[in-house]
Amino acid sequence: MSQRNPQTVPDAGMTPGERRATAAVALVFGLRMAGLFMILPVFALYAGHLEGVTPTLVGVAIGAYGLTQALLQIPFGLLSDRLGRKRVITAGLVVFAAGSVVAATADGIWGVILGRALQGAGAVAAALMALLADLTRDEQRTKAMAGVGMSIGLSFALAMVAGPPLAAWIGVPGIFWLTGVLALLGIAVIHGVVPDPARSSRHRDTEPVPGELVRVLAQPELLRLDLGIFALHAVLTATFVALPPLLRSEAGLAPAAHGWLYLGAMAAGVAGMVPLVILAERRGRMRAVFLGAIVLLALAELLLWAGHGRLVPAALALAVFFWGFNVLEATLPSLVSRTVRPDGKGTAMGVYSSSQFLGAFVGGALGGWVSGRFGLPAVFLAALGLLVLWLAAALGMRPPPARRSVLVPVGRLEADEAALLATRLAALPGVVEAVVVAEEELAYLKVDPARFDPASVREFSVAAA
């Protein structure tokens, strides 16, 4: 049986091995995501000299990684159960590096599109999460996943800020070469720093399970959240198809200086995000904050359209944009975790992530098409229209009450014993749902933190014996 300790055992903190594994996996995530996002603020400025370029194809090139990532990340995660985590991760990073080389050496827009699609085809996110789950105890898993989430957010911010000066220094092909090097560095980290797990097993809290897909896709509230992350990243990608060229042509802002504008806007967005997330999570105002954040995005797109790329309106709009964007990036995963069954979280998050990357592809293609047909400012109106549709769909949301997941190792059980144990666990005060998966020797609980006493499940845990 794999070594698992539940959240019911007193938390002594992460072991050195868990901290090392978390830091290393977070670093690999960050390197890969930085490579994908550094192109976002600069490619539309560079693409004009490529052979065969059209506005639509510029948008497709920016978002192409999203299509292959959306299609392949769940299969890659499942494949890692069969072939081994590190083998699949290594193969994915090699594909990512190959895509970077293809894009770096391309003379035409179709070569860049192929390279970006190959970058997305190295879809190792689910396999990385599974590897980290193999290397951490259950009561430390939330901390480990939070560390990865922070690395992704930080890599996005750094990529947006660093992309413009890097493009001025080494050119966009140089950025593609750099992303290839970062992918190879990720391989070195995986094999040189991350320990080999003693045993790999499926973790329903972090990995998709094929048998859960139908159930997850049949939940209207989860589909509403998937629509939300799709729209959020479609709007993000479409906005950056149009904004950089307008900043250069209308505001007269040198491309190398764009990063400073993004840095200020992101800092303002983070400062505004914190109180709203606290209000949503701790004061029970999730619905109001969530809808308000969508309105903030809509206001930002309206300001960008009205300002037509002028510097002061654009700076204000970007600050408002990243205010709403950061709030939604923080609250959407929390809503997914609260809504899904305790044993379906990994599957729900897999569908959610696929929706996110599909949104990036559609947003890029839509932004490119609209800019070519109606002009760059019209992209902001198209994004505004998408946000209005999202807001209309979100008005019917019913925010789930505050819940958290608890994992309890229960040892080897027969099917009838597992069913009986699930009934006993569900009857405990504060336990909202209980699912016992006999083949995983694990109970998945969803609990009300205000009423749940961790000591109440200690007698059921083999790790507490």
Q: What is the CATH number of the domain that holds 190?
A: 1.20.1250.20
Give the pLDDT confidence score for residue 464 in this predicted structure. Answer: 55
**8 Å CB contact between 128 and 89:** yes
Give the pLDDT confidence score for residue 28 in this predicted structure. Answer: 92
> Is it the case that residue 284 has pLDDT exceeding 70?
yes
Q: Are residues 197 and 219 both part of a single domain?
A: no
Q: Are residues 319 and 423 both part of a single domain?
A: no
Give the pLDDT confidence score for residue 5 in this predicted structure. Answer: 37
Give the pLDDT confidence score for residue 9 in this predicted structure. Answer: 39
DSSP states of 10-28 as a string?
------HHHHHHHHHHHHH
Give the pLDDT confidence score for residue 6 in this predicted structure. Answer: 36
Give the pLDDT confidence score for residue 57 in this predicted structure. Answer: 97
Name residue, tokens 């770096």.
Answer: 104
CA distance 167 to 173: 8
Q: Are residues 372 and 228 both part of a single domain?
A: yes
> Is it the case that residue 71 has pLDDT exceeding 50?
yes
Structural domain that includes position 158: 1-207
Identify the weakest region by mean pLDDT among 42-51, 115-124, 203-212, 303-312.
Answer: 203-212
Look up the pTM and report it.
0.90
In total, how many domains does the chain have?
A: 3
Q: Are residues 21 and 6 both part of a single domain?
A: yes
Domain end among 367, 400, 433 = 400
Q: Are residues 257 and 360 both part of a single domain?
A: yes
Q: What is the mean pLDDT of the chain?
A: 88
Q: Are residues 188 and 312 both part of a single domain?
A: no
Coil, strand or helix at 426: helix
Share of the chain above pLDDT 70, in %: 95
Name residue, tokens 């200690």.
Answer: 458
Residue 4: pLDDT band (50, 70, 90) is very low
Domain end among 344, 372, 400 = 400
Domain end among 377, 400, 423 = 400
Average pLDDT over residues 431-456: 84
Residue 2: pLDDT band (50, 70, 90) is very low
Give the pLDDT confidence score for residue 139 in this predicted structure. Answer: 65
Q: Are residues 275 and 243 both part of a single domain?
A: yes
Q: Are residues 164 and 28 both part of a single domain?
A: yes
Q: Are residues 310 and 439 both part of a single domain?
A: no
Identify the weakest region by mean pLDDT among 154-158, 205-209, 454-458.
Answer: 205-209
Average pLDDT over residues 136-160: 82
